[in-house]
Amino acid sequence: MRRAAGKTLRLFGIIGAVGLVGCGESEGDQSGIDPSIRPVRTITVGDIDPTVRGGLTGRAEAAREVSLGFRVPGDVLAITVSVGEEVVEGQIVAMLDPATFETEVARLDANRERALASHTNAEGDAERDRILFSQGHIAQARLDETEAVLAQAVAEVAATEAALRQAQLDLDYTQLHAPFDGVIVATYVEAFEDVGTNEAVLRLLDPSRIEMTIDVPETLISQLPFVGDIIVTFDALPGIELPAEITEVGTEASNTTRTFPVTLTMDQPDGARILPGMAGLATPHLIEMPEGRPLIVPVGAIVDSEDGTESLVWIVDPGSQTVSQQPVRLGEIIVEGVIVTEGLKIGDIVVTAGVHSLQPGQRVRLLSL
């Protein structure tokens, strides 16, 4: 397992190293820091404090928002609401001119009446011919013809009724209703404009619950199961702390930032209102990590020994700020990283990026998360 995992991880480690070498050298050149002191990113094995430090930022969004449009094309008769107006579920917010649709309903209703009359006549003829056939007065061919006419009349009734139902639906669709309680935040058309099917007419959001998406570094995503309460604060509402819950966790990291999107949801506070777009800060309150939990490090932290027989990580001595190599035994590769079964202990500081540009005993500078 160790050799197989090492081969699988080698490519990931090389790719991560290329990105960091350029970044680290550029930063050192600009700041005047001794270039021999290599900047590196690290994690503390089993430590969940980095998740709390500084919090994670995001922007507020309404938990429910939608652009509303008519299901049929037509001329806008009226927009019955204004931007900023609160509406309730089922309220009419816009209307199309119904004249054309009412005419179509009337036409199809007349067609249905004619089809029903034809069906009644065909049914009477069929009943009469069945009696005559049973008495031997008409041939089988005559009865078959009458039955065919009846079947056609039945089909015509069904077709006209279906067309009428659709026309009635289309007429109903000339009224646009709010699908939930909320606030109108934008209108896109005016009265007497022609609109197409599903063309956006206005936008509605439900501000009663707020969502905020934060970007969690891949080095911390494995710690989400150990998050208890999450408190969110907003710059525009100082002094107000809101409890939030995790409602969605992205399963794929961003190619550019290597972070996972995590969605938080919270209720509006009493006496204040969070508006979409407000900047916020999420601070997790973490529960204690249980004993016996597998130690996980990012894939990019693993390097192979020169002879390829061992998997290694770089350990930072916090006193001297120097690095040394530590052999490890690897377990399963999972979404959060790779499980280390031997070689590490809680509290070890492991380099997670820049691992291929280090030398034993080299001094390093820890970059912030």
Q: At 56, which CATH number?
A: 2.40.30.170
Decide: helix, strand or coil at residue 336. coil
81 occurs within a structural domain: no
71 occurs within a structural domain: no
**How would you write 266-302 as a 3-class SS string?**
EECCCCCCCCCCCEEEEEEEECCCCCCCCEEECHHHC
141 occurs within a structural domain: yes
Which of 286, 307, 329 is at the close of a domain?
286
What's the token pair of residue 25? 């050298």
Same domain flag for 219 and 157 = no
Averaged over 70-97, what is the pLDDT? 96
| Domain that residue 331 falls in | 2-46+293-366
CA dist., res. 248 & res. 246, Å (int): 6
The overall longest dimension of the chain from CA atoms, in Å, is 116
Averaged over 314-323, what is the pLDDT? 93
Same domain flag for 282 and 308 = no
Residue 238, C-beta contacts closer than 8 angstroms, at least 6 positions apart: none
Per-residue confidence (pLDDT) for residue 162, from 0 to 100: 97
Which of 226, 261, 286 is at the close of a domain?
286
Per-residue confidence (pLDDT) for residue 16, from 0 to 100: 40
Q: Is the pTM of this model over 0.85?
A: no
Averaged over 339-355, what is the pLDDT? 87
260 occurs within a structural domain: yes
Same domain flag for 146 and 122 = yes
Distances (CA, A) of 121 to 143, 156, 320: 15, 13, 103
Per-residue confidence (pLDDT) for residue 224, from 0 to 100: 73
Instruction: Give me the number of domains the chain comprises.
Output: 3
Query: Which of 87, 72, 68, 80 has the alpha carbon at shortest distance from 190?
Result: 80
CATH number where 302 lies: 2.40.420.20
147 occurs within a structural domain: yes
Same domain flag for 154 and 215 = no
What's the token pair of residue 311? 């998997």
318 occurs within a structural domain: yes
Is the confidence at residue 7, as pLDDT, over 60?
no
Is the confidence at residue 285, as pLDDT, over 90?
no
Which of 237, 269, 286 is at the close of a domain?
286
Same domain flag for 258 and 309 = no
Per-residue confidence (pLDDT) for residue 368, from 0 to 100: 55
Averaged over 134-160, what is the pLDDT? 96
Is the confidence at residue 27, as pLDDT, over 70?
no
281 occurs within a structural domain: yes
Same domain flag for 305 and 262 = no
Same domain flag for 265 and 212 = yes
Give the percent of the chain with pLDDT over 70.
83
Degrees, nearest 5: CA angle 197-198-199? 90
Same domain flag for 12 and 54 = no
Same domain flag for 219 and 241 = yes
Distances (CA, A) of 246 to 168, 226, 264, 335, 336: 44, 12, 5, 18, 17
Same domain flag for 298 and 350 = yes
242 occurs within a structural domain: yes
pLDDT digits (tens, 9 = 90+) for 148-200: 999 999 999 999 999 999 999 999 999 999 999 999 999 999 999 999 999 99
CA dist., res. 6 & res. 303, Å (int): 7
Q: Answer whether 267's CB lies under 8 Å from 209's CB.
A: yes
Is the confidence at residue 286, as pLDDT, over 70?
no
Mean pLDDT of the chain: 84
pLDDT digits (tens, 9 = 90+) for 210-248: 999 998 877 677 667 767 788 899 989 988 999 999 898
Query: Which of 354, 350, 329 has the alpha carbon at shortest distance from 340?
Result: 329
Same domain flag for 326 and 278 = no
Per-residue confidence (pLDDT) for residue 87, from 0 to 100: 96
Which range is least confidently modeled, 25-34, 49-58, 146-155? Answer: 25-34
CATH number where 127 lies: 1.10.287.470
The pLDDT confidence band at residue 325, using thresholds 50, 70 and 90, is very high
CA dist., res. 189 & res. 199, Å (int): 10
Same domain flag for 298 and 332 = yes
